[in-house]
Amino acid sequence: MSQQAILYPRQQVPDLSVPLVGGGQFNLAEETPENFTMVVFYRGLHCPICANYLGDLHNRLDALTEKGVSVIALSSDTEERATEAKEKWNLPNLRIGYGFSLDTAREWGLFISTSRGKTSAGVVEPDLFAEPALYLVRPNGELYFGTVQTMPFARPSFADISKALDFVIANDYPGRGEVIDHAAAAE
């Protein structure tokens, strides 16, 4: 059984390097945003909720870039499926990574599900795939914010995140939830 990690704010995140649809490679350690890299893990081509969610993200890319945030969306899908998602969901400006391993998913604290066959989108789910998550990572590789889902629905709103970023950046607000050993911290 693979162990699922817990990522804590103000701690280094695991390495993350994936190929990109259309060519090239995303390597988190090489990102140089002014404020954050937003890493959005999505379920894959089979997920109609992901299509809408990433569509909203795509529509907010310019605003996020203006706030000093670089963005990537990635799944464990194959190159073919990720390419189809990028084209079918009309995401020309969103970097789409693919092919991350389920071991990498566990290192990032993601939940993993089994296939239930064909979805309402008419696409068969992979045998195993990672459920959604969203992380904001500081340029130095420290986790600032993270949310991990067990289901495809009820994800954080990009409108809310964008508004929060205005406050966070203006006030140099620290990452919260950083206490690993609460008993020791209380002493």
pTM over 0.85: yes
Q: Would you state the pLDDT for residue 1?
A: 58
Q: Does residue 184 register a pLDDT over 70?
A: yes
Q: Mind listing the pLDDT tens digit for each residue in 77-127?
A: 999 999 999 999 999 999 999 999 999 999 999 999 999 999 988 899 999
Q: In this predicted model, what pLDDT tens digit does every residue of 34-83 receive, in sequence order?
A: 999 999 999 999 999 999 999 999 999 999 999 999 999 999 999 999 99
Q: What percent of the chain has pLDDT over 90?
A: 93
Three-state SS for the chain is CCCCCCCCCCCECCCCEEEECCCCEEEHHHCCCCCEEEEEECCCCCCHHHHHHHHHHHHCHHHHHHCCEEEEEECCCCHHHHHHHHHHCCCCCCCEECCCCHHHHHHCCCCEEECCCECCCCCECCCEEECCEEEEECCCCEEEEEEECCCCCCCCCHHHHHHHHHHHHHHCCCCCCCCCCHHHHHC
Q: Are strands 25-27 and 36-41 parallel, antiparallel or unpaired?
A: unpaired
Note the pLDDT of residue 98: 98
Mean pLDDT along residues 151-159: 95
Answer whether 146's CB lies under 8 Å from 41's CB.
no
- Work out the mean pLDDT of the chain and round it to a whole number: 96
